[in-house]
Amino acid sequence: MNILLLSMPNVIIAFNKACRFPSLGLSSIAGNLEGKHRVLIVDLVMLNKGDIKAFLYRMCKDFQPDIVGLSCFSFQYRTALEIAKLIKRTNNKVITVFGGYHPTLAYKMIPEEEFQYIDFIVRNEGEKTFNKLVNLLKRDEVYDIPGISYKYEGKIIHKPPVKVLDTEEINLPNRDVRFFKNYKAWGLKADVAETSRGCTFNCDICSITGMYGRTFRKFSVKRIIEDLKQMKKMGNRVIFFVDDNITLDLNHLEQVCDAIIYERLNDIHYITQASVYGIASSAKIVRKMARAGFKTIFLGIENVSRKNLNFINKNTLVTEELTVQAVRYLKENKIIVLGSVIVGNPDDTEEDIWENFRFLKRLNVDAPLIFTPTPHIGTALRGKLIHQGYITNPNDLTWYNGVKANIRTKFLTTEKINKLVLKMYRYYPGFKYFFTNNILRNYPGYYIRRFFIELYEIISDYIKVIFGKLSVDLLKRAFQKDYERRKRWLLDDFQKKCDCCNCVYYRG
């Protein structure tokens, strides 16, 4: 069979400026397929310009897929559905299979009429389920496979969930079947890997347990090293470990670091995401990570207020002092700190939000990542915010990427929260920032190029504002840019009468 695997073009723009990574999930799906199949992975995030519809029409004509797999988060689901419609118009015999976080968490909420474009949903981890589905389709025996959903004789059928996989069962990803090759991070060729899956914490904002249950499973150090060696042979200079909580088992992380150093794979630059508690727990492990080649950490600071941390059910041991310690350990080892906070919690005033900004400035993180509480389907946070009446956009999930607010607080409107976040990004860089920044230290070429690109965009926007092509209103200007991007992502809701808080504000 010809199998086309697609990841969606929708991105979080702040991340997209620094890095474009392939989908590890699709590569892992491809690596675990049995039988003689022709497989092609297309990460649509790499399609910088041009018409996505025209590209997909050509792809379907040239590749002639029998099966198309579409992986999506909630904010990408509508784009995935539009792509499935396009594929069905091209050839109605093509079997479409949806997977990823949104189809897993929201499978019972998908309307019956949308199943005319969705033949199957593969829920939770897809490696073994998708393989069974593909190889049983020929014999029409798919209907007893656990972990799938489908429409049969006018009814939506949801088979029982699959058990979480033993990591020893999971083959290495197949990266040779990608259509695009030139993924980048900090201007260098990049790829993705994992050392573990899952997390045992109970944070209300997180949907990881909806995918894996409350489990934590480690890959063997031998497998991890074999994977890294393959990626190094492919010319990759940067590798992003996409683990859900890499510091949950510090002994395993230390073993991975020791093996990387021993195998001389520490000339690769590693990126990962980590918790404050995990990093602050051990100065030794941070030094070991630096020796192993870790250059960038997405650090989940979440909030300066213990009250807000309690609201999202974060680790009670995390304090302001512990956060300062975690950042200090990373800074001492010349590791880039991308510090994320979540602002716009129910009790937040404007002063509370600015206190988080001042905290990031005191920490001197190399780049701030400022998110708002996103009421994702399947999270405890969504239930709490619905009960308290703070969700202003419960239905248009295309905005559920953490960047634009979909909530209000007791004291602030959605519009006000969005404007504050934009101001914080604008005001963060200062004179000191340019001389203490580890991005400049570690990646001067990227940093200087990015500086001039940003400067050009600022000047260009200013000229457009003067000539009336962009709004003077900073938030409306951001929505105008969103509008152009969303058209490419096959989302035209600004032109329609979508009543979500963000579309309503754009239309004025």
Residue 279 exposure: Cα atoms within 13 Å on the Cβ side: 30
Q: How many CB atoms lie within 10 A of CB 13?
A: 12
Q: For domain 183-438, is the CATH number 3.20.20.70? A: yes
Query: What is the secondary structure of 91-115 as a DSSP string?
Result: -TTSEEEEESHHHHHSGGGS-GGGG
Q: How far is CA 362 from CA 21, 49, 264, 352, 438, in A?
A: 31, 39, 36, 15, 16
Side chain identity at 278, as an amino acid letter? Answer: G
pLDDT along the chain (508 residues), means of 10: 97 88 98 96 90 94 97 97 97 97 96 96 97 86 88 93 95 98 96 97 91 94 98 98 97 98 98 97 97 98 93 89 97 97 97 97 95 95 96 95 95 97 91 83 94 93 94 92 90 74 81
508 sits in which H/E element: none
Yes or no: say if 6 and 71 are a contact pair by the CB < 8 Å rule. yes
Residue range(s) of every CATH 3.20.20.70 domain in the chain: 183-438
- What pLDDT was estimated at residue 495? 58
CATH number of the domain located at residue range(s) 2-158 in this protein = 3.40.50.2300
What pLDDT, in 10s, does the model give residues 310-327? 999 988 888 999 999 999
Residue range(s) of every CATH 3.40.50.2300 domain in the chain: 2-158
Yes or no: say if 368 and 356 are a contact pair by the CB < 8 Å rule. no
- The whole-angstrom distance between residue 293's C-alpha and the CA centroid of its chain comes to 23
- What pLDDT was estimated at residue 500? 83
Yes or no: say if 45 and 7 are a contact pair by the CB < 8 Å rule. yes
- What pLDDT was estimated at residue 442? 95
Q: Return the structure tokens found at 472.
A: 């003077």
Cα separation, 415 vs 313, whole angstroms: 26
Burial of 48 (0-12, 13-18, 19+ CB in 10 A): exposed
Yes or no: say if 69 and 3 are a contact pair by the CB < 8 Å rule. yes
Cα separation, 369 vs 450, whole angstroms: 17
Residues whose CB is less than 8 angstroms from the CB of residue 340 and which lie 6 or more positions away in sequence, other chains included: 298, 299, 300, 301, 302, 368, 369, 370, 371
What pLDDT, in 10s, does the model give residues 185-194? 999 999 999 9
Cα separation, 277 vs 316, whole angstroms: 10
188 sits in which H/E element: strand 188-193
Yes or no: say if 186 and 172 are a contact pair by the CB < 8 Å rule. no
- What pLDDT was estimated at residue 494? 66
Side chain identity at 196, as an amino acid letter? Answer: S
Q: Return the structure tokens found at 26.
A: 């699709």
Cα separation, 289 vs 272, whole angstroms: 11
Summary count for the chain: helices (H), strands (E): 21, 17
- What pLDDT was estimated at residue 22? 97
- The whole-angstrom distance between residue 209's C-alpha and the CA centroid of its chain comes to 16
Nearest to 349 by CA among 405, 411, 306, 303: 411
Q: Which residues pair with 43 in a beta bridge?
A: 7
Query: What is the secondary structure of 210-244 as a DSSP string?
Result: HHH-S-EEE--HHHHHHHHHHHHHTT-SEEEE--S
- What pLDDT was estimated at residue 190? 98
Confidence (pTM) = 0.95
- What pLDDT was estimated at residue 498? 80
